[in-house]
Amino acid sequence: MASIKVLVTGAAGQIAYSLLHSIAKGDVFGQDQTITLVMLDIPPMATVLKGVEMELEDCALPLLKEVISTTDYKEAFSDIDVAILVGAMPRREGMERKDLLKANAGIFQGQGKALDQYAKKSVKVLVVGNPANTNCLIASKCAPSIPKKNFSCLTRLDQNRAQSQVASRVGVAANSVCNVIIWGNHSSTQYPDVRHALVCTADGTVSPVPAVVKDDAWLNGDFITTVQKRGGAVIAARKLSSAMSAAKAIGDHVRDWWFGINNKVCCSGASKLWTSMGVYSDGSHYGIPEDIIYSFPVTIQNRDYTIVDGLEINDASRARMDETAKELVEERDAALQFLSSS
Amino acid sequence: MASIKVLVTGAAGQIAYSLLHSIAKGDVFGQDQTITLVMLDIPPMATVLKGVEMELEDCALPLLKEVISTTDYKEAFSDIDVAILVGAMPRREGMERKDLLKANAGIFQGQGKALDQYAKKSVKVLVVGNPANTNCLIASKCAPSIPKKNFSCLTRLDQNRAQSQVASRVGVAANSVCNVIIWGNHSSTQYPDVRHALVCTADGTVSPVPAVVKDDAWLNGDFITTVQKRGGAVIAARKLSSAMSAAKAIGDHVRDWWFGINNKVCCSGASKLWTSMGVYSDGSHYGIPEDIIYSFPVTIQNRDYTIVDGLEINDASRARMDETAKELVEERDAALQFLSSS
């Protein structure tokens, strides 16, 4: 099997520190896949990157063929099979929202162009750095030679959080819950939807989550706000943002995209197994506007996703799905005006 | 299969942050073993522990049955099957060596007593916090009801570093090198010894490392100092001490202790496959003094290690092995006088 080349940006940061080892040991691309790992960060982090490279070497990992630390786009993006774009400008105190959008529009314009110019045309791109959906849209727009379907943003962390909240409430293992949906933006307007989710209870039966939880007030109230605000709650406790769980979710997202969705326990009783990914909306699904990156439930086959259509949407869901779409349209319109013409 | 209870101390720290996820997802105890993970740290870290607990929950890991965050020894050590003692007092600027030994003697006396009083008698103990060998000895002495053979300290990180240095030099994958030995103290006096190590070269033959490297000056010089000083080199680059690679080595150590040593690639041509662990020296192996924790090559069967005897030791090796033993005797004698009589 040919070796693959995987790029991680923001490689000197905390999420990457958890993620790189996981990729290098075979958790994401399998135990038979050798990997060249490319680590990109900004020039002030070059020495830290070297330290991470030393540690990866010290892990003595048989699948890790080569590590390339770089601060140069051409070296970073050339011939890559997978790009995991973790690095972004974080919001600093006193920073206006538009300044944040502008800074990140610049970064993802540059990375989109680098993808367009240097990466394999089959490259799979996952954007993690926030605002992830809009950064992903900009990267895609700036890489017209790469299919739009090769771009996605991360909402799997939100999905894992939602899945775990339900599992804990019901008293089952986390993988006994499936088909949770995250709709929309990876932001506090996201809509974690368990109306179509399933749970395997101890006796082996597969049932709709609402029928097992039997508490619609919780499912439509505290459950949703807990998931929406979980990132902030972790920061409040850890004094640092989520890294371990973000890296885990990135691994889940990319592995499912690569190999298809797997669930050993649940959903043998489900007609269809899906996961949530932020993907390009062409306007033909669930009345969501076109030309935004929106998180939908998707099935995956042959490294290609298909949006799950035909799910019944009630009025409350409709309103939440539209609200998060509206935010994404606004983000897009604000970000696009910052794209430089160069 | 019954669930097991695994304690990690220093659980709010950086090594634990990498380690906990790895344990919880099944890398160490296997994909069929459910786990109760107990996280201990000092009271000022209680809120951070809660944050780590939230993130473990957000990873949605099916094997993770329960997470217990605590700052209480009784709750932490009760009925545990495995104790991974990562937490220790780090050396701070201006701190004398004896102050460091005293502080850690106090910590590991307390944890030894807690093991004695609360843990399963079959508990496997791995000490990582430095000075790891001497901390391990103290814990063992303070837990007389638990067999000495259940105590070990980590030198696997040094072994992985040595293995990786050789693999990189020869141009093979890291798991194509085996039977590297770390003798003695997990400190700069350690002796990384490849005189008995083997390498699989591209044509499939298994050969002694010195015969393949063909550079005794490097093997007896830069190779040894690179491994001895690697921790400092990582700190100089990362500005933080090794965490990812330490967590990886901890996982390797405990997994090999639990399941036996595994090496998929190399050493089918070796008559015996070993790994290095800091274990109790009873004075009967290689002339190493009794009553210190010294890193030896060991084989493992049924969760029980056996020191590999009969390896030929030349004069240069003898001198290095004695030097690191001497340091351990001094550390022990200094630390023991700090044990309180309470």
Domain boundary pick from B153, B182, B216: B153
DSSP A231-284: HHHHHHHHSS---HHHHHHHHHHHHHHHH----SSS-TT-S---EEEEEEE-S-
Q: Residue A92 has what DSSP assignment?
A: P
pLDDT of residue B34: 97
| A341 falls within a domain | no
When the pLDDT of each residue in chain A is averaged and rounded to a whole number, the result is 94
> Measured over all CA atoms, what is the biggest interatomic distance in chain B, rounded to whole angstroms?
62
Which residues are A67's β-sheet partners?
Answer: A37
Domain boundary pick from B92, B127, B153: B153
> What is the Cβ-side half-sphere exposure of residue B2, based on CA atoms within 13 angstroms?
5
| B339 falls within a domain | no
Q: How confident is the model at residue B330 (pLDDT cuts 50, 70, 90)?
A: very high
Q: Using the structure block, give the residue that is written with the tokens 């298809």.
A: A260
pLDDT of residue B238: 95
| A144 falls within a domain | yes
pLDDT of residue A315: 97
Q: Are residues A107 and A173 in the same domain?
A: no
Cα separation of the two ends of chain A? 40
Interface contact B58-A237, CB threshold 8 A: no
A235 CB neighbours in chain B (<8 A) are: 51
Q: Are residues A192 and A229 in the same domain?
A: yes
Q: Report residue B113: phi and psi, to 5°.
A: -60, -40
pLDDT of residue B204: 77
pLDDT at A269 over 60: no
Q: How confident is the model at residue A91 (pLDDT cuts 50, 70, 90)?
A: confident
Instruction: Mention every residue, 6+ apart, whose C-beta is less than 8 A from residue B261.
Output: B273, B274, B275, B299, B300
| B334 falls within a domain | no
Q: Are residues A187 and A130 in the same domain?
A: no
The pLDDT tens digits of the residues spanning A39-86 come to 999 999 999 999 999 999 999 999 999 999 999 999 999 999 999 999
| A340 falls within a domain | no
A51 CB neighbours in chain B (<8 A) are: 234-240
Which residues are A125's β-sheet partners?
Answer: A83, A151
| B341 falls within a domain | no
The pLDDT tens digits of the residues spanning B304-320 come to 999 999 999 999 999 99
More confident residue, A101 or B121: B121
More confident residue, A47 or A92: A47
State the amino acid at position B93 in one-letter form. Answer: E
Q: How confident is the model at residue B125 (pLDDT cuts 50, 70, 90)?
A: very high
Tell me the nearest-neighbour CA distance from A81 into chain B, angstroms. 22
What is the arithmetic mean of pLDDT over B208-236?
A: 96
Q: Are residues B181 and B324 in the same domain?
A: yes
For chain A, the domain total comes to: 2
Q: Are residues B315 and B214 in the same domain?
A: yes
Residue count of chain A, please give it: 342
By C-alpha distance, the chain B residue nearest A237 is: B51
Closest CA to B286 of B210, B178, B191, B151: B191
CB nearest A57 (choices: B63, B164, B240): B164
The range of the structural domain enclosing residue B77 comes to 4-153
Interface contact A234-B56, CB threshold 8 A: no
Q: Are residues B139 and B168 in the same domain?
A: no
pLDDT of residue B93: 78
Closest CA to B20 of B2, B7, B3, B33: B7
What is the arithmetic mean of pLDDT over B270-286?
A: 92
Q: Are residues B300 and B193 in the same domain?
A: yes
pLDDT of residue A263: 60
Interface contact A160-B59, CB threshold 8 A: yes
CB nearest A60 (choices: B25, B48, B160): B160
pLDDT at A265 over 70: no
pLDDT at B9 over 60: yes
| B336 falls within a domain | no
Catalytic residues of B: 186
pLDDT of residue B342: 53
Q: Which of A21, A186, A196, A253 is catalytic?
A: A186
| A334 falls within a domain | no
Domain CATH code at residue A25? 3.40.50.720
The pLDDT tens digits of the residues spanning A139-196 come to 999 999 999 999 999 999 999 999 999 999 999 999 899 999 999 999 999 999 999 9
Cβ atoms of residues A252 and A156 within 8 Å: yes
Domain CATH code at residue B275? 3.90.110.10
Q: pTM of the predicted model, to two decimals? A: 0.96
pLDDT at B269 over 80: no
Q: How confident is the model at residue A341 (pLDDT cuts 50, 70, 90)?
A: low
Q: Using the structure block, give the residue that is written with the tokens 């949770």.
A: A180
Interface contact B164-A58, CB threshold 8 A: yes
Q: Are residues A182 and A305 in the same domain?
A: yes
When the pLDDT of each residue in chain B is averaged and rounded to a whole number, the result is 94
Token pair for A321: 């799905």
The pLDDT tens digits of the residues spanning B151-185 come to 999 999 999 999 999 999 999 999 899 999 999 99
Residues B284, B287, B292, B295: is their CA dihedral positive or negative?
Answer: negative
pLDDT of residue A1: 85
Q: Are residues B145 and B163 in the same domain?
A: no
Domain boundary pick from B127, B153, B179: B153
Which residues are A299's β-sheet partners?
Answer: A306
What is the arithmetic mean of pLDDT over A235-259?
A: 97
pLDDT of residue B272: 81
Instruction: Mention every residue, 6+ apart, whose C-beta is less than 8 A from residue B116.
Output: B142, B143, B144, B145, B146
Interface contact A57-B168, CB threshold 8 A: yes
> What would the 3-class secondary structure string for chain B be?
CCCEEEEEECCCCHHHHHHHHHHHCCCCCCCCCCEEEEEECCHHHHHHHHHHHHHHHHCCCCCEEEEEEECCHHHHHCCCCEEEECCCCCCCCCCCHHHHHHHHHHHHHHHHHHHHHHCCCCCEEEECCCCHHHHHHHHHHCCCCCCHHHEEECCHHHHHHHHHHHHHHHCCCHHHEECCEEEECCCCCCEEECCCCEEECCCCCEEEHHHHHCCHHHHHCHHHHHHHCHHHHHHHHHCCCCCHHHHHHHHHHHHHHHHCCCCCCCCCCCCCCCEEEEEEECCCCCCCCCCEEEEEEEEEECCEEEECCCCCCCHHHHHHHHHHHHHHHHHHHHHHCCCCCC
A62 CB neighbours in chain B (<8 A) are: 173-176, 264-265
Q: Are residues B221 and B306 in the same domain?
A: yes
Q: Are residues A267 and A174 in the same domain?
A: yes
Q: Are residues B161 and B203 in the same domain?
A: yes
